[in-house]
C-alpha cells in the first residue's frame, strides 16, 4: 500500500496539473428528456465556464477538452452544422471572458476542414487570450490522436528528406516533441463522462501515463462536484510509471 493509502498525507499529495476531458453523453442526456441531440450539445457547452473557473481555483494549469473528434464529421449534417455554430458562438462569447481571467485559449486539431469564418474566430480568440498567465484552456476540435501522431511522423520525415536529421535519430523523444500539447505539462488525469470506457481516438500518445477516470454522469450534468470527485480519486492513485512505489514490494523481492 502506498503512503497515501495508509492515510499519511505528506506534502507530496498528488495534484493534477493537466486535466483532459472527453465530454461525452450530450445525445443521451437529450434523448432522456425527449429532446434532440442539439439540446444536449447546447446544455453541454454551458458546463464549461464553471469548470474553467474551478480548475483555476484548484491550481490546475491546463484543462483540455475534447469537443469534436475527426470521426464526428460522420454525424448527420444538421448535427455537425449545429456543433460548428455552437463552437463559433462559444468563441465569440467566451474569448473576452478568458482574456479577463488571464486564461490562454488554444485550439488543437486540423482546422482546414472548418469554414473560413470559424477559422477566423479561432485565430481571433487565440490572439485575444495569448499570454494569459492564469492557465490554459485547450479545445480539441477536428482532432484525432492518430492524425496527431501521423503529422508528427510527417514532420520528422520532412527533416530526414531535407538532410536535417538521420533516420537513426528518430526516437520517442523526437516524436514526443512533435505531437500536440508537447510544450504543456503531461496529462495527469483523463476523465470521460457518460459511462463509455474507451479513448475514441483522443490523445493516444499523450495519455501513455495519464490516470483514467470514468463516470456514468452524462456531460450536461457534469459539474464542479464531479470534477472534485475525479480529483479526489486521482489523489488516491499510485503512479508507478512501470517502477515500484517507495513502500512497494521491494521487501518481498
Residue numbers at the binding site for ligand IPE (CB under 6 A): 22-28, 37, 66-69, 72, 83, 194, 196, 198, 200
Q: Find the catalytic residue in 26, 50, 72, 168.
A: 72
Map residue 54 onto helix, strand or coil: helix
Spatial separation of the C-alpha atoms in residues 70 and 150, rounded to whole Å: 13
Closest approach, Cβ 129 to ligand IPE, in A, equals: 22
Looking at beta carbons only, is 16 or 27 nearer to ligand IPE? 27
Closest approach, Cβ 5 to Mg ion, in A, equals: 34
Q: Which does 83 bind (CB under 5 to 8 A by kind): Mg ion, ligand IPE, none?
A: ligand IPE
Looking at beta carbons only, is 108 or 156 nearer to ligand IPE? 108
Residues within the interface to Mg ion (CB under 5 A): 24
Query: Does 72 participate in catalysis according to the annotation?
Result: yes
Looking at beta carbons only, is 24 or 226 nearer to ligand IPE? 24
Looking at beta carbons only, is 47 or 178 nearer to ligand IPE? 47
Contacts of range 36-39, beta carbons closer than 8 Å, 24 or more positions apart: 37/79, 38/78, 38/79, 38/82
Contacts of range 234-242, beta carbons closer than 8 Å, 24 or more positions apart: 234/14, 234/16, 234/188, 234/189, 235/4, 235/13, 235/14, 235/15, 236/4, 236/5, 237/14, 237/211, 238/2, 238/4, 238/5, 239/14, 239/209, 239/211, 241/209
Query: Does 24 participate in catalysis according to the annotation?
Result: yes
Catalytic residue IDs: 24, 72
Amino acid at each position: 500500500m502506498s503512503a497515501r493509502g495508509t492515510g499519511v498525507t505528506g506534502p507530496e499529495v498528488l495534484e493534477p496539473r493537466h486535466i483532459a476531458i472527453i465530454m461525452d453523453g450530450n445525445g443521451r442526456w437529450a434523448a432522456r428528456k425527449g429532446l434532440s441531440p442539439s439540446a444536449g450539445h447546447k446544455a453541454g457547452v454551458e458546463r464549461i465556464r464553471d469548470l474553467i473557473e474551478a480548475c483555476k481555483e484548484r491550481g490546475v494549469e491546463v484543462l483540455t477538452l475534447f469537443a469534436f473528434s475527426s470521426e464526428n464529421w460522420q454525424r448527420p449534417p444538421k448535427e455537425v452544422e449545429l456543433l460548428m455554430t455552437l463552437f463559433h458562438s462559444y468563441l465569440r462569447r467566451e474569448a473576452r471572458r478568458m482574456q479577463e481571467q488571464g486564461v490562454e485559449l488554444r485550439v488543437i486539431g486540423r482546422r482546414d476542414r472548418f469554414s473560413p469564418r470559424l477559422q477566423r474566430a479561432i485565430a481571433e480568440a487565440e490572439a485575444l487570450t495569448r499570454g494569459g498567465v492564469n492557465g490554459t484552456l485547450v479545445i480539441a476540435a477536428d482532432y484525432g490522436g492518430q492524425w496527431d501522431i501521423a503529422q508528427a511522423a510527417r514532420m520528422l520525415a520532412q527533416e530526414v528528406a531535407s538532410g536535417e536529421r538521420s533516420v537513426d535519430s528518430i526516437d520517442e523523444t523526437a516524436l514526443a516533441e512533435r505531437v500536440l500539447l508537447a510544450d504543456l505539462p503531461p496529462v495527469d488525469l483523463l476523465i470521460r463522462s457518460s459511462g463509455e470506457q474507451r479513448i475514441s481516438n483522443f490523445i493516444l500518445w499523450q495519455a501513455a501515463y495519464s490516470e483514467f477516470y470514468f463516470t456514468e454522469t452524462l456531460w450536461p450534468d457534469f459539474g464542479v462536484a464531479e470534477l472534485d470527485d475525479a480529483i479526489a480519486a486521482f489523489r488516491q492513485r499510485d503512479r508507478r510509471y512501470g517502477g515500484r512505489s517507495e513502500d512497494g514490494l521491494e521487501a518481498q523481492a
